[in-house]
Amino acid sequence: MKQDRWMSLLGLANRARKIISGEELVIKEVRSGRAKLVLLSKDASANTQKKVMDKCKSYHVPVKFVEDRYILGHSIGKEARVVVALSDAGFAGKLSDMLD
């Protein structure tokens, strides 16, 4: 049940155009300081996980893990997504609490 709640909130954030998905774009958002929270799927490649984690760490952006790329993609109406960034502090805060 808890999973559905964060997924629908992420879907809402997506419709509000407050999310960015895809590795390169997310890293750009983190660098620019616009990313407030990064969601990373547990099945992302080790290389992608390291790249995203290192970047987020150096820019002090919190990272939360979600089960897999299909759940993450599905919640924003896409096929599969390994990484998503939220650019809205409100959505980021709520999602972060839900994923704790």
Please state the domain extents for the chain: 2-98
- CA–CA dist 65, 95 (Å, integer): 11
Sheet holding 19-21, edge to edge: 19-21, 83-86, 37-41, 63-66
Give the separation between CA 98 and CA 48, rounded to whole angstroms: 24
Indicate the residue type of 99. Answer: L
Element (H, E) at 20: strand 19-21
Among all chains, which residue has been given the structure tokens 């969601």?
Answer: 39
**pLDDT band of 72, cuts 50, 70, 90:** very high
Amino acid letter, residue 25: L
Contact by Cβ (8 Å): 52, 23: yes
Is a pLDDT exceeding 80 seen at residue 31?
yes
Is the CATH code 3.90.1010.10 the one for domain 2-98?
Answer: no
Q: Is pLDDT of 3 > 90?
A: no
pTM of the shown model:
0.95
Q: Indicate the pLDDT class of residue 1, thresholds 50, 70 and 90.
A: low
